[in-house]
Amino acid sequence: MSELDLSGLSAEQRPAGIWTAALLHALARDEAAGRRQQRLTEPGLATWTRFRGRLTSSDFIELLLEDATVLHRIPFDASVLGETIRPDLLPEAIAGSWVKAAAFLPLTAPPADYIARQARLLGLPTRMARSDLHVVKSHQISRHRTPTSSRWPGSRSCAQPNMLCAVAASTL
């Protein structure tokens, strides 16, 4: 499974569902990278299964988001985002399927692919993580001494006269 299924959500549940799906993917990715303790991606959800008692999968999601809010209020605190985001509207059946499916999301995908996927889910432009700024290539740098580089022994200056760049030799 490469996505969390949003098709079973009503129009009223959709904003909360999209927000929750994006954050569950982010939390699962953090767990897979070792930045968070495994809870959502723990094999068989062993800790949750022992702990849950009468709690539901929706409660588990709310606990995960509440725990993440301690470190990162935005985006994990729904109250900051407005009234349209109400995680309590998420149906139990969908919450249960998402909790089970989270470990099977593409958690080790390259960052650019992950950001593009999240942007599509949230309805944002997908170019947000990329820049079209000019990058100086190694063939554009001359290795001779110029008056601007005479103060920095071992530095290199740009071969293009209109560009201001004195790049330390150690950075190339």
pLDDT at position 16 = 86
pLDDT at position 28 = 93
Q: Which domain holds residue 166?
A: 138-171
pLDDT at position 167 = 40
pLDDT at position 1 = 45
Q: Are 94 and 18 in contact (CB under 8 A)?
A: no
Structure tokens at 7: 């098709």
pLDDT at position 135 = 66
Task: Return all residues near 123 (Cβ < 8 A) that are at least 6 apart.
Answer: 18
Residues 26 and 81 in one domain: yes
Structure tokens at 28: 């699962």
Number of domains in the chain: 2
Q: Are 129 and 112 in contact (CB under 8 A)?
A: yes
Task: Return all residues near 44 (Cβ < 8 A) that are at least 6 apart.
Answer: none
pLDDT at position 32 = 92
* Nearest-angstrom CA–CA distance, 140 and 163: 10
8 falls within a domain: no
pLDDT at position 47 = 87
Compute and round to an integer the Cα radius of gyration of the chain. Answer: 24
Alpha helices in 72-139 (DSSP H): 73-76, 78-81, 92-101, 111-122
131 falls within a domain: no
Q: Tens of pLDDT along the chain (172 residues)?
A: 457 888 889 888 888 888 889 999 999 999 999 988 998 999 988 888 888 888 899 889 888 888 888 888 778 777 777 666 777 788 899 999 999 999 888 899 888 888 888 888 888 876 655 555 566 777 666 665 555 555 555 545 545 444 444 443 333 4
Residues 47 and 116 in one domain: yes
pLDDT at position 74 = 78
Residues 31 and 63 in one domain: yes
Residues 51 and 95 in one domain: yes
